[in-house]
Amino acid sequence: MALRIVTADDRLSAAANKTTMVIVGESGSGKTTLVKALPDVETAFLDLEAGMKSVQDWRGDSIPVRCFEDMVVLASLIGGPNPAAPPTAFFSNEHYAHYAAQHPDLVAMLARKSIIFVDSITDLTRQAMVWAKKQPEAFSDKTGKPDTRGAYGLLGREVIGLLKHLQHAPGKTVILVGILEKHTDDFGRVTWQPQMEGGKAGRELPGIVDQVITLSLFSRDGDGALVHDPQRGTERRLVCQAGNRFGLPAKDRSGRLDETEPPDLLALLRKINAPAPSPA
């Protein structure tokens, strides 16, 4: 095991070039179009939804992803080998070396990218469920019949493992987008949560990423204050702080974002990664 000391200067340098975030929003809120603000030369778009019609004029590189196995390979090539993984596991040295040898063009392209835009985490979990249902863990040892609990357990473990591997990708900012669902309970209380297969990945996602951000539509009241208005609002904003007055999912580990920010990802990243002011 290679242990090393990370100095404060090293840590600040890494922070200036890397963050992980999930952006959720209702269908049609414009999550995919956020990529247009990112530098096309530095950004790789992982397209799990076959949904790039709204950004067809964006000049960056994209990679279609049609199954969970392909997403695992891409995550391995982006994050590099995990020295703690056993030889037969995803993301091990052997796993990485095998696919890096098969796809040298992808390795070279991804090495040039500093931003990975994944659209979407909702479809990632759907693809993962299709894969999980075909694995031995998804069948009862006694009867051989499908075991839904086994499939969901495998889904949760593997999706979380993939997300954590992307989190550790050196020098890569990873942006995951997903659909936001509104839930109203029997008492009329409203909550919002990411639309994902299974509960485990959705519950643990906020603890994995640095930033949780909601993209939604707002209007203004007579005093000019923002009012959450996803049906008729015309102003798009990114909700960035936990405990916001709109009750929307958010977390700002950087501590540098306002309650809402304009829907400009490049400006947002610059604000998150801006050097700390020198002490007086």
Average of per-residue pLDDT across 129-153: 90
Please give the mean pLDDT across all residues of the chain.
90
- The answer, yes or no, to whether residue 1 has pLDDT greater than 70, is no
Indicate whether 143 pLDDT > 90: no
Class of the 16-273 domain?
Answer: alpha beta
Q: How confident is the model at residue 102 (pLDDT cuts 50, 70, 90)?
A: very high
Name the one residue in this structure whose structure tokens are 């993962």.
128
pLDDT in tens, 201-238: 888 998 999 999 999 999 999 898 999 998 898 999 99
Tell me, what's the pLDDT at 181? 87
Answer whether residue 14 shows pLDDT above 70.
Answer: no
pLDDT at 95: 97
Q: What is the pTM of this model?
A: 0.91
